[in-house]
Amino acid sequence: MKNYLNNTFLKSKQNNNIPIVKALLKYDQSNFTLLIIEHVEAQFLLVRETYFITLVMPYYNVLKQGYSSLGYKHTKETKELLSELAKNRVHSDVTKGLIAKALTGENNPFYNKSHSIESKVRIIEAKSAYPVYVYNSFKKLLVIFPSVSTLAKLIKSNHPTIVDAIKQQDVFRGEWYFTNTPYNISDTPLITEWISKECDKLILDLNNNSHIRKAVFVYDVYKNFIRKYDGVTDAQRDLNINHSTIKKYAKVGGSYNGYIFSYERLKN
């Protein structure tokens, strides 16, 4: 089995993005165990595979049903290969009946059951097409959300607003950047799970700053940070500098009257 994985699976570029392959390469095969959970006849294999996938919802399983690619995006080459294979694969009426019977009523793994929080999280992640990487104003990766919709719902925003923040790369609510890809391939989130107490605090901070549309960062002429204002109006009131002047220089990170104004943090 080990040799098979090494030679056929792990070395295949086509499989490099499959979760289990990435995990095997990262954590080493010695940290994984292969177990047989049930012996079944070939005609019931599809039914039982679907049953256990539905019941356990394994994290590394890219397929959501037995002998199905629901929830997984194949490469173009794989799609063409599967298309050819599918032309010669037709389930008999007997097999279809067995599948329906095996997952009906009390035989359904979710009969009189509800999803656990972890299962609900995995369902959301499985349905998500693109993750959202959340960075702070220092460009430090904080956490990864499974989708724009999930993030928008949690921070009481909307889908177009989040998408626009991603496209424009503006500082969102004065402190955060959103992106669909990490700034650096080596970036590791400070918060490992988007559903956690640490992330709850981040979400609270995002909601508490919902009144901020465009924060203003102020530095001295030597680029020493002085203060961050919630907006141009607050900076105008405190520094007694015209509103339009602050906007003009903040847009380009320019210097005026001994201050450097910017809509984002300046690099040291």
Q: What is the tens place of the pLDDT at every residue in 213-248?
A: 999 999 999 999 999 999 999 999 999 999 999 999
Q: Is the Cβ–Cβ distance between 84 and 105 less than 8 Å?
A: no
Same domain, 33 and 108: yes
Same domain, 169 and 257: no
Same domain, 6 and 108: yes
The two beta strands, 132-136 and 176-179, are antiparallel
Is residue 27 in some structural domain? yes
Is residue 152 in some structural domain? yes
More confident residue, 114 or 146: 146
Same domain, 155 and 99: no
Residue 247 gets the label, from left (phi > 0), alpha (psi -120 to 50) or beta, of alpha
* Non-local CB neighbours of 1 within 8 Å, separated by 6+ positions: 34
- The strands making up 255-256's β-sheet, listed across from edge to edge, are 225-229, 216-220, 259-262, 255-256
More confident residue, 204 or 181: 204
Last residue of a domain, one of 113, 132, 152: 113
Say how far apart CA 119 and CA 125 lie, in whole Å.
10
Same domain, 8 and 47: yes
The whole-number pLDDT of residue 182 equals 87
Is residue 268 in some structural domain? no
Q: Which of 53-62, 134-143, 177-186, 231-240 has the lowest mean pLDDT?
A: 53-62
Range of the domain at 20: 2-113
Same domain, 103 and 145: no
Please name which of 252, 190, 262 lies closest in space to residue 223, comparing C-alpha atoms.
Answer: 262
SS (H, E, C) the chain: CHHHHHHHHHCCHHHCCCHHHHHHHHHCHHHCCCCCCCCCCHHHHHHHHHHHHHHHCCCCCCCCCCCCCCCCCCCHHHHHHHHHHHCCCCCCHHHHHHHHHHCCHHHCCCCCCCCCHHHHHHHHHHHCCCCEEEEECCCCEEEEECCHHHHHHHCCCCHHHHHHHHHHCCCECCCEEEECCCCCCCCCCCCCCCCCHHHHHHHHHHHHCCCCCCCEEEEECCCCEEEEECCHHHHHHHHCCCHHHHHHHHHHCCEECCEEEECCCCCC
Same domain, 104 and 159: no
Look at residue 10 and tell me whether its pLDDT is greater than 60.
no
The whole-number pLDDT of residue 266 equals 93
Last residue of a domain, one of 173, 190, 208: 208
Same domain, 16 and 107: yes
Is residue 6 in some structural domain? yes
Is residue 250 in some structural domain? yes
Q: What is the largest CA-CA distance in the chain?
A: 83
Using pLDDT thresholds of 50, 70 and 90, give the confidence band for residue 185.
confident
- As a whole number, the mean pLDDT across the chain is 78
Please name which of 87, 95, 88, 11 lies closest in space to residue 47, comparing C-alpha atoms.
Answer: 95
More confident residue, 213 or 13: 213
- pLDDT by residue (tens digit) across 30-67? 777 777 877 877 656 665 676 666 566 666 665 554 44
Same domain, 45 and 140: no
Is residue 204 in some structural domain? yes
CB atoms within 10 A of CB 229: 23
Q: What is the mean pLDDT of residues 193-203?
A: 93
Same domain, 194 and 136: yes
- pLDDT by residue (tens digit) across 64-99? 544 444 445 556 666 666 566 566 556 666 666 666
Is residue 226 in some structural domain? yes
Using pLDDT thresholds of 50, 70 and 90, give the confidence band for residue 131.
confident
Q: Which of 62-71, 108-117, 205-214 has the lowest mean pLDDT?
A: 62-71
The whole-number pLDDT of residue 254 equals 94
- pLDDT by residue (tens digit) across 160-172? 999 999 999 999 9
Same domain, 49 and 73: yes
Look at residue 180 and tell me whether its pLDDT is greater than 50.
yes
Among 126-135, 181-190, 232-241, top mean pLDDT goes to 232-241
More confident residue, 108 or 32: 32
Number of domains, the chain: 3
Same domain, 204 and 141: yes
More confident residue, 158 or 115: 158
Is residue 192 in some structural domain? yes
Last residue of a domain, one of 208, 224, 244: 208
